[in-house]
Every structure is written in C-alpha cells, then in structure tokens.
C-alpha cells in the first residue's frame, strides 16, 4: 500500500474507535487544498467521496478535471463576494457563511437545475481578530434568516477554534460549539421553521479530531493526517 493509503486507513479506523458520548454519526471530509487531482483520485479510489477545498480557482480547476468522478465538493475557505458565483455553480456545500450578504448571493446565484446548496454558518467561537465568522451571540438571528433563503439548505455550524495542543483548551471551545448548535436547532423549531436538515457540526482538524468527535462533531475536516504535510502554497 502507498503511504497515502496507509494514512487514509489509519484515519478512518481511528474515527471509528473514538468514543461518542453524544451518539452522533461522523463523516470524514478529506481536505484536498494544494493537492493534485491524482492524489484526490487515489483517495477517492479508497472509498472517500467528500473533499474539501479552500481556494475557489484551484478548486474549480480540479472539479472540472474530476467531473466524471462521483465526488461531493465542500468549500471550506474564506469566500469573497466576487467569487460567490463560482462557489454557487460548482460546489455541493459551503461551510464558511460568515455574513448574510454572502448567503443571499449564494442563494440568488445557485443554478435552478442544481439541488439547493448545503451551507453551514461559520462561528468565530474564540472571538479571534484574525478569524472570520459570526460571533456566538449573532448566530441564532443569522440562522433564522439564512434558513429562509430559497436556494440554500442550512445544514449546521462550522468552526475553526483557536489553535492549541491542549485538549482541555480544545474541549472548552468545541463544547461551546455543541451548545450553540443545540440552541440554534431549538430556536428554529420554536419559530416553526424547518429544522430537520440542521444536522451538521463541522469541526475537528488533524490536530483536534479526537476531542471534536467527543464533543459532537458530525463532519471532521482532515488534510495533513491523510495527505501528509502540505507543500508551501504557491499562489
Ligand atoms: C486546511 C483546513 C483543514 C485541514 O487542516 P489539517 O490540519 O491539514 O487537517 C480543515 N479546515 C479548514 C477550514 C482548513 O482550511
């Protein structure tokens, strides 16, 4: 087996052994930013369907090259307004809704012959200057609006907590995300809005996957632990 296959199998078996006190199912999103189409094909051949990309231009090139493969594409990078149309036309999911304007544009620009676009609201859970996303106290109001946009399906919340190696520090932010997820779901129901599709908590990367799953993550976004260290970004 190749190193890539070894790492992929190690991650999928690890995901299955981590305890889940909340009993949720967990899906692996293979984060393929900066990786080649050939590397994506190799992981796809091992049974992986969902891939995450950060850079719109790089991603749309790869989506075009891999259009004959049954891949579900997730956009997980910062989205500029002038790139929203590309995201609306090429992706199945956008995890990084960080302002209402971008949600409105994606809904307006989603082609009629495609299913509605799955979206998550990005939460700046540790209130970091350097990170985008809604603050926790803004999320319910945003969710009630985004959930009504006709061409979007609001699937849940996403976060990139403050980087730390300390699992207890990680746990504090990740469990605040789970609490927020529960509050938003309750608020949707209280307002008689559809809440069944709101089932996703996108959190956990190579460095905090285990804690994220213990805290209720339903999608973990894993790059380096599958593909190895990322080559330096060139564009
Ligand atoms: C790059 C990236 C990941 C994957 O990170 P790794 O540490 O390589 O697993 C996950 N989420 C987002 C938003 C990313 O940009």
9-45 burial by CB neighbour count: b if 16+ within 10 A, else e? eebeeebeebeeeeeeebebbbbbbbbebebbebbbe
Domain boundaries, the chain: 3-227
What is the rounded average pLDDT for all residues in the chain?
96
Q: Model confidence at 32, in pLDDT bands (50, 70, 90)?
A: very high
Site residues for ligand 1, CB cut-off 6 Å: 31, 33, 54, 76, 160, 205-207, 221-225
Which pTM was predicted?
A: 0.96
For residues 201 and 186, what is the distance between their CA atoms, to the nearest angstrom? 15
Structural domain 3-227, CATH architecture: Alpha-Beta Barrel (3.20)
CA of 208 to the centre of ligand 1 (A): 11
Write the pLDDT tens digit of every residue in 38-94.
Answer: 999 999 999 999 999 999 999 999 999 999 999 999 999 999 999 999 999 999 999
Q: Model confidence at 1, in pLDDT bands (50, 70, 90)?
A: low
**Protein residue closest via CA to atom 6 of ligand 1:** 223
Residue 31 alpha carbon, nearest atom of ligand 1? 4
CA of 222 to the centre of ligand 1 (A): 6
Residue 206 alpha carbon, nearest atom of ligand 1? 9
**Protein residue closest via CA to atom 7 of ligand 1:** 206
Which residue out of 7, 11, 31, 76 has the highest number of ligand 1 atoms within 8 Å of its CB and is therefore the one to mutate?
A: 31
For residues 43 and 78, what is the distance between their CA atoms, to the nearest angstrom? 25
Three-class secondary structure of residue 50 per DSSP: strand
Q: What is residue 221's predicted lDDT score, i.e. its pLDDT?
A: 98
Write the pLDDT tens digit of every residue in 189-217.
Answer: 999 999 999 999 999 999 999 999 999 99
Contact 92, 128 (CB under 8 A): no
């Amino acid at each position: 087996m190749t190193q890539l296959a070894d790492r992929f199998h190690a991650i999928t078996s690890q995901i299955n052994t981590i305890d889940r006190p909340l009993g949720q199912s967990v899906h692996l999103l293979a984060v393929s930013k900066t990786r080649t189409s050939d590397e994506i094909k190799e992981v796809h051949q091992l049974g992986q369907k969902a891939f995450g990309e950060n850079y719109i231009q790089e991603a749309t090139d790869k989506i075009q090259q891999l259009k004959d493969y049954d891949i579900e594409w997730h956009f997980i990078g910062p989205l500029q307004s002038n790139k929203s149309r590309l995201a609306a036309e090429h992706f199945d999911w956008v995890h990084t809704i960080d302002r209402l304007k971008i949600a409105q544009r994606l809904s307006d620009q989603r082609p009629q012959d495609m299913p509605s676009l799955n979206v998550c609201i990005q939460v700046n859970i540790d209130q970091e200057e350097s990170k985008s996303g809604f603050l926790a106290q803004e999320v319910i109001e945003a969710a009630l609006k985004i959930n009504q946009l006709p061409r979007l399906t609001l699937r849940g919340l996403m976060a990139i907590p403050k980087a730390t190696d300390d699992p207890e520090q990680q746990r504090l932010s990740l469990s605040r995300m789970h609490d927020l997820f529960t509050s938003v779901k309750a608020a949707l129901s209280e307002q008689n809005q559809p809440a069944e599709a709101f089932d996703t908590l996108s959190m956990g990367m190579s460095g905090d996957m285990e804690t994220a799953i213990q805290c209720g993550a339903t999608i973990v976004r894993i790059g380096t632990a599958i593909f190895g260290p990322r080559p330096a970004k060139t564009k």
